[in-house]
C-alpha cells in the first residue's frame, strides 16, 4: 500500500517562512563580491514582474537586438570557457 505525506500549512507559517527566506537572502547578498552575480540578481529582480508569456513588440525586440550588438561591438562578451570559470567562482566568494 502506497503511503502519502500531506503537508498542511497556515498563512502564518508561509509568512514566517517568507520572512526567514528574505532575512537569509539579505544576509547572503551582503557577502557577494562578484559584480557579475550582482548584475544577474539585479536583472532577476528588475524583470520579476514581467510576464514570461507576454509577447514584446517588434520595436522592443529590435531595440534589445541593437543593444546586444552594441555590447558585442564594444567587446563586452565572455567565451564559454570564461563563463565556466566565472560560474565556478560564484560559490567561493
* pLDDT, tens digit (0-9, with 9 covering 90-100), for 35-70: 889 888 888 887 776 655 567 889 989 999 999 999
pLDDT at 76 exceeding the cut of 80: yes
| Confidence (pLDDT) at 8 | 52
Contact 32, 91 (CB under 8 A): no
> Which of these, 33, 31, 34, 28, lies nearest to 83 by C-alpha position?
34
Percentage of residues in the chain having pLDDT higher than 70? 72
Q: How is residue 54 annotated by DSSP?
A: P
Cα separations (Å) of 76 from 8, 10, 53, 79, 82?
A: 49, 48, 29, 10, 12
pTM of the model: 0.38
What are the boundaries of each domain within the chain? 11-90
Amino acid at each position: 500500500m502506497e503511503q502519502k505525506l500531506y503537508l498542511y500549512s497556515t498563512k502564518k507559517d508561509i509568512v514566517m517562512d517568507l520572512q526567514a527566506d528574505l532575512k537569509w537572502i539579505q544576509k547572503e547578498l551582503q557577502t557577494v563580491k562578484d559584480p557579475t552575480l550582482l548584475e544577474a540578481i539585479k536583472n532577476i529582480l528588475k524583470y520579476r514582474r514581467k510576464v514570461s508569456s507576454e509577447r514584446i513588440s517588434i520595436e522592443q525586440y529590435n531595440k534589445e537586438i541593437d543593444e546586444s550588438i552594441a555590447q558585442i561591438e564594444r567587446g563586452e562578451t565572455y567565451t564559454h570557457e570564461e563563463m565556466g570559470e566565472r560560474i565556478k567562482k560564484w560559490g567561493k566568494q
